[in-house]
Each structure stands twice: as structure tokens, then as C-alpha cells.
Amino acid sequence: MKNTALCLCAAFLFLFSACKKNDSPSSNITSNNVTTTASSGTWRVTYYFDSGSEKTINFSGYTFTFGNSNVITATKTGPDITGTWISGNDDSKVKLILSFANPDLFAAISEDWHVIELTSLKIRLQHVSGGNTETDYLTFEKN
């Protein structure tokens, strides 16, 4: 009887420990959550992968603010660089759309990015080119 109780207790503990809460940061991705998260505080690019190579260094030292009226501002020494941003749904995916007219460095991140991870401290984005030949990645982390 003692062995049966021990086996049942061990089985219960195993099953209980195997069940875990689904607290995946990606489970709460909605366009409203993206807007709320992005517009709180300032951000920096911690990863940028484009055209088959990492190019994170291109954005080193820039601070990004997702501001009111859908204006995004990149700040570093010198004049600010501004563009537009909006979050929404397209093709059943939550997207963050960035648009910078210039300089070319910022025009390169002007895309409709699919939000693949969203937490209060990180926004991970992915863009698949029209021909499905290349996948680019962009990650913002909160300052």
C-alpha cells in the first residue's frame, strides 16, 4: 500500500510539473498591444539582419521614439531622422509598418514587418521578401 501511494504521489508530481502556464510573450500580439508597447519609452536596435548579413552596427547609438501622430524619430548626434509608423493587421498577421524617406540606411528598414515577439522590453520583427527568397529581421529593445 505504501508503494502504491508513493507511485501515485510521484505520478501526480510528474504530471503537475509537466503542466505549465502558457506565458509565451508572443501570445499577446495584437496591433493594439504593439502600439501601446512601442509608444512607451525609447528603443534601440539590438539586431538587424538584411540581405543575408547582420547589419546591427548601422544603427548603433540611435534611440528610437514611436511618437504621437505615428511619427517615429531616430536620435543620435546631428539632426533627428523622422519617418512614420503604424501597427495593424494584414494577411492575418500583426504588422509594424515603418517608413523613412531618407537616408538610405533608414529607407532599408522601411518595410511592413511581421511582429514575431512582443514583450514590454522587446519587439522582434520579421520581413519576408515578395518572392519568399529572403527573410530579414529587426529587433528593438527598450532603453
DSSP string, the chain: -HHHHHHHHHHHHHHHHH------GGGG--HHHHHHHHTSSEEEEEEEEETTEE-GGGGTT-EEEE-GGGEEEEESSSS-EEEEEEEEEETTEEEEEEE--SSHHHHTT-SEEEEEEE-SSEEEEEEE-TTS--EEEEEEEE-
Write down the pLDDT at residue 132: 61
pLDDT for the residue 9? 33
The per-residue pLDDT for 24 is 45
Q: How would you write the pLDDT of the chain (143 residues) with one tens digit per residue?
A: 444 333 333 333 333 333 333 334 456 899 999 999 999 999 999 999 998 999 999 999 999 999 989 999 999 998 999 999 999 998 889 999 999 998 999 999 999 999 999 999 999 999 988 766 789 999 999 99
CATH topology of domain 28-142: Lipocalin (2.40.128)
